[in-house]
Structure 1
Amino acid sequence: KLTVLGYAFKKNTNDTRESPALHIVQTLLEEDPKELAVFDPLCNPEQIADEIRRLAGPDVLQRHGGPVVVYTDVYAACWGSDAVLITTEFDEFRNLPMEPKMEMTVADPRPFDRDEANESDLLSLHGYLLQSQTAGAAATGDIMPDAENPLGRFQPMPSCPEDCPDCHVEKATGAAGSGASVKLTPKRRLDWRKIYYHMNRPQWVFDGRGVLDIAAMEKIGFRVESVGRQSRLSYQ
């Protein structure tokens, strides 16, 4: 059994266009695995299955007697696996510490360089006022513009037609369709020790996105191969 973690082309999106996972799945199918498990924390499972079906034919899906199974639970996807491949850099898959965000300070653009403020001036003022409110300085009396629509130009998205395929998938499965707006919420990191315990020996992990601390994974007992950026530093 082989497990692919990540199907979207990058983290924090459910967009699968030009995703390397598409070609990785096709290559792995050539190895004739008993089971090829796929998991993505944001992509619609039905959409993933449909794309794999169109890529490699309907016979590759387990429902039609093939090896491909799309999971909604990451631990179930890894259970009994001989190797795990990380193909998208979702933070959930990391065992590296998150890089601290750089704090940026926006200066007050007033007074403006011209008699009448242009759009660039208004956006700069918007950023300054938003920063001031966040820092607790809203008591100055400044009126905050709409944080999401400072120039008042955004138009509401029209309702979907009755025959919208994404809406049908969402109603049938409870998962967001390919064109749906997915609200990103913080997710817990994987418990790699739990995954190790339920994998077949030797427990191989192939890190295709450089999201793992290799030394820490090897300390658990994993055998790790990393493609691209590697890290053998142990973080405290």
Structure 2
Amino acid sequence: MSLLSVESVVGGYTRADTILKGVSARAEPGEIVAILGPNGAGKSTLLKAIAGQLNLREGAVTLDGQALTGLRPREIARHGVAYVPQEANVFPTMTIRENLEIGGYLDPAHTRARIDEMFERFPMLGEKRREAARTLSGGQRQVLAVAIALMVAPVLMLLDEPSAGLSPVAAAGLFETIRGIRDQGVTVVLVEQNALDALALADRAYILTAGQNHIEGVASELAADADVRKAFLGG
């Protein structure tokens, strides 16, 4: 049984706006799965659908066999799903520690211990714990956003464009962080515009076009396919 199963989901932000037109995907335990495709393909919308950020008109989402369809985002988070949006993913005027405290809202009894764990895992956050999040660089903010998500002890992490706006060096460091999270047992599904970098990171990938599945397969094989590279990966 797949950890995450998305079956023929149809939906959008309004009744008149259908962005997802029967998309299906899966993620196995311990995988990194990349969701790729051109602008407007429905990539970010798919993550929001999994996280309960929009209502589905058709299809189903399950996590380890349990239905997530129709649940509120808070309930989905309680099932072990952490969603990191592309924007507004930290509280800029609050300190790093305060951001992590908010991330622990589902399990306040263990918040202090998990904050200590985050400071050990990401020493930079510990060093800056009393500083406002707005003082962090772009790469550091993304690390903080990931740490906030880890505060719920997720089994599945959804990352929307984590490398957006980062320098190549910062993006490479963030991808190493994501790989380390996977190695510690968290399944990761990420949307990325940097397709080749995402395929180098991922185990498997889905390419969407116009809200539908177009190609799926082993990430390394998709990266090596000349037709795929020409059509979707910039040559």
TM-score range, shorter chain: under 0.3
RCO (CA 8 Å, sep 6+): is it higher in 1 or 2?
2
TM-score, normalised relative to structure 1? 0.27
TM-score, normalised relative to structure 2? 0.27
Larger CA Rg, structure 1 vs 2? 1
Higher strand share: 2
